[in-house]
Amino acid sequence: MTKFSWLTEIKAKDRTLTGFWAILYSCAAIFMAGWYMYTSGFGIVSTETNRGFYLLFTSVLVYLIFPASRWAPKHRPSVYDIICVLLVSVSVGYWIDQYMDYAIFRVTTPNKWDLVMGIIAICMILETARRALGPIMMILAIIFLAQIYFGPYLPGKLSHAGMPPDRIIEFTFNTQEAMFGVITATFATFVFPFMVFGAFLERSGAGTFFMELAKALTGKWRGGPAKIAIVTSALFGSISGSSVANVVATGTFTIPMMKRIGFRPKVAGAIEAIASTGGQFMPPIMGAGVFILATLIEVSYLHIALINVIPALLYFIFVIMMVDLEALRSGLQGLPTEEIPRLPAVLKNGWHFFLPIVIVLGLLFYGFSPEVGAFWGTVSAFILSWRRKETRMKTKDVLVGLRSGASANNSAGAAIGALGIIIGGIVLSGLGLKFSAILVEAAGGMLLLCVVMVMIISIIIGMGSSTTGSYIILSVVAAPALIHLGVVPVAAHLVVFYAACLSNITPPVCVSAFAAAALAKADPMQTGFAALKFGFALIFLPFGFVYLPPLLLNGSVFEVIYTVVMLLLGFMALSMMLQGADFLRSGLSWSKRALYLFAALLLLLPVPLYLNLAGIGLLAFGWFPSLVAYRRDLPAHN
């Protein structure tokens, strides 16, 4: 391997760039990451430059690394790829250059070049989404554009007057309401700098440290590798905020460990998938969708992070319970002692990796914007990497970190322009309010039924989109329905966001479970159903946001503590029912499992105090005989 092989060869799933093309890709990626880190820390640039550069460079990188079809060259861009690079550069460059003139002199009266460049840009942005994400997102965007024109022919309440093609093109391309709208601005300003921050943390050795820390903390426990996967994904989720990125980054190590001690492949993949999905809402960084959420409801990102602490911890505690019971059922143990690092040694070598995250949180607490936190977090990750010789980031590491941050953006960023087109179509036709009215009417004004319908719609839309994409669409068409029925805005949007996360592990299309299944060499559908079972708490939490306000810190300290205790006991009963084990022995009878189900319902649902107490009594009644039998048999085991 040559000294500059990192620059002259770039391997991706379907294409490996070498030589000049690899250098071109690296230069574009490094410039993009460097530009947005500069603007996060120091730069003051125009809105059109900030938004335009993001879509432009994302598209260029996608065209270079994602083949247009299975017949395209695997080691270099095709002629068609180069044409796409030129077209997106010219059309988006035109928008950046001409936006101010349009805004001052040509609003509602676009000239010929506005429309021509608009058509080219829309086609190129749709091609970007198709290459990186498949055809579904592109088709959705085309449908939402078409419904603006065919408005008079739409059925019932969805019908509207319709608009001519030039107005559709102008609104989608020339304004800052659609393709270059708030979604693009949020990703360019907030999300992308955190992707670079995550890449620098990983490059500085934080990923390895978190894995070793998880081993030291949970390696000796029953089913230790599975708990390593959970803890690692929770910690790594605070860096990446992407479920699929979590699966790929941590599953490479945790899934083989789980399989080695006896977990079935589909179970190993499922555990990694649900743990990685939790990274989407695990503070402090969480997923990209949370930045959009905070922007749309005009609430500080820090507030969203704080109110997500309890739901995220409850989710991961439930997952750990499920894993522990699975290990008990299967008779699995932890890692061999010689493979478990000593906790003091791990902390001594890597305690400093917590500092960049502390710096980010500290800046947020002091009122600085998220992108400033990401900038200084990145700088601190670089500086702290020099604490130990083997983790020092030199020039090559900095450049690779910048490139990795830009590359991590490819799949998520490819959807942003198309999502902007979809949102533009919804706004221009007024479809959002109409759909919300239809949803409320279909639910008969019943809040519970409306939440159920929102969950189902989220899963359906999630089949063809990322968590962020699903949330963005649903925040416009579904969240207003919940707000109309009296749900506070932040709770309504969290319902939609968590439901979008649920689509990652819900068959028939569950991207996180499929990615984990590939690493585990397991059947994708079986892995998806297993993940849904292990992540069952994710079905309950959106309902909790609506009916249990203390879950989101909306109540007194006593109310919050009481709610958390009831939910912990409820999740304990639910996990025992689902797994047929009670932490002391497995093989529970169906009558005992029914008892635990009834106890879980009394503890999890918003019922009066005496019913909560009845649930605790049922839980104790079912578990106490097992405790007596376990203590009686303990001497025999010894």
Is 393 contained in some domain?
A: yes
Determine contact, residues 201/239, Cβ cutoff 8 Å. Answer: yes
Q: Please name which of 417, 481, 313 lies closest in space to residue 56, comparing C-alpha atoms.
A: 417
Tokens representing residue 273 in the block: 């998938």
Does some domain include residue 452? Answer: no
Asked if 259 and 270 count as a contact pair (C-beta separation under 8 A), the reply is no
Pick left, alpha or beta for residue 487 (phi over 0 → left; psi -120 to 50 → alpha; otherwise beta). Answer: beta
Residue-wise DSSP of 161-226: ----HHHHHIIIIISSSSTTSHHHHHIIIIIHHHHHHHHHHHHTTHHHHHHHHHHHHHTTSTTHHH
Q: What is the mean pLDDT of residues 93-105?
A: 95
Q: Which of 154, 177, 200 is the last residue of a domain?
A: 177
Q: Does 161 share its domain with 260?
A: no
Q: How far apart, in whole angstroms, are the C-alpha atoms of residue 542 and residue 493?
A: 10
Query: Per-residue pLDDT tens for 418-469?
Result: 989 998 998 898 888 788 888 888 888 899 999 999 888 887 777 656 677 7
Residue 31 has pLDDT above 80, yes or no: yes
Verify that 146 and 232 share a domain, yes or no.
no
Question: Shortest CA distance to 61 belongs to which of 39, 30, 34?
Answer: 30
pLDDT value for 237? 60
Tell me: do 255 and 324 sit in the same domain: yes
Confidence (pLDDT) at 2: 57
pLDDT at residue 635 tops 70: no
Tell me what pLDDT residue 366 has. Answer: 84
pLDDT band at 4 (very low <50, low <70, confident <90, very high): low
The pLDDT, as a whole number, for residue 634 is 61
Separation of alpha carbons 227 and 220, rounded Å: 10
Tokens 């093109």, residue located = 169
Cα–Cα distance measured from residue 524 to residue 504, given in angstroms and rounded to the nearest whole number: 12
pLDDT tens sequence across 78-88: 999 999 999 99
Residues 253 and 385 in one domain: yes
- Residue 24: per-residue pLDDT: 94
149 and 190 share one domain: no
Q: Which of 177, 203, 231 is the last residue of a domain?
A: 177
Residue 465 has a pLDDT of: 65
In a domain, 433, yes or no: no
Instruction: Assess contact for 61 and 68: CB atoms under 8 A.
Output: no
What is the domain range of residue 628?
Answer: 555-638
Closest C-alpha to 303, from 287, 326, 322, 284: 284
Q: What mean pLDDT comes out for the span 612-625?
A: 91
**Nearest Cα to Cα of residue 117 among 89, 143, 137, 77:** 89
**Predicted local distance difference test score (pLDDT) of residue 11:** 86
For 396-413, the pLDDT digits (tens) are 999 999 999 899 888 878
Q: Specify the pLDDT at position 190.
A: 83
DSSP sequence for 425-437: HHHHHTHHHHHHH
Flag whether pLDDT at 473 surpasses 70: yes
Residues 140 and 219 in one domain: no
Residue 163 and residue 205 in one domain: no
pLDDT over threshold 90, residue 388: no
pLDDT at position 240 is: 53
User: Which tokens hold the place of 242?
Assistant: 């992407």
For the chain, the domain total comes to 3
Local structure of 448: helix, strand or coil: helix
- Give mean pLDDT, residues 192-200: 87
Q: Specify the pLDDT at position 509.
A: 67
Rounded CA-CA distance 567/606 in Å is 10
24 and 128 belong to one structural domain: yes
Q: What average pLDDT does this structure show over 125-147?
A: 92
**Phi and psi at residue 618, in whole multiples of 5°?**
-65, -40
Give yes or no: residues 150 and 198 share one domain.
no
Whether residues 194 and 152 fall in one domain:
no
Residue 347 or residue 284, greater confidence: 347
Where among 352, 379, 406 does a domain terminate? 406
Structure letter (DSSP) for residue 341? P
250 domain-assigned: yes
Q: Give the pLDDT confidence score for residue 91 in this predicted structure.
A: 97
Tokens 């400033």 map to which residue? 372
Q: What is the pLDDT of residue 434?
A: 84
Residue 357 lies in a domain: yes
| 420 is a domain residue | no
Name which residue leads in pLDDT, 552 or 510.
552
What letter would DSSP give residue 521?
T
**Please, what is the average pLDDT of the chain?**
87
Burial of 462 (0-12, 13-18, 19+ CB in 10 A): buried
307 contact partners, CB below 8 Å, separation of at least 6: 490, 494, 552, 553
In a domain, 211, yes or no: yes
Mark whether 327 and 247 lie in a shared domain: yes
Give the single-character DSSP code of 227: H
Confidence of residue 249 (pLDDT cuts 50, 70, 90): low
- Residue 260 and residue 362 share a domain: yes
Assigned domain for 442 exists: no
**pLDDT surpassing 80 at residue 511:** no
Residue 536: CB atoms within 10 Å: 19
How many CB atoms lie under 10 A from the CB of residue 593?
Answer: 18
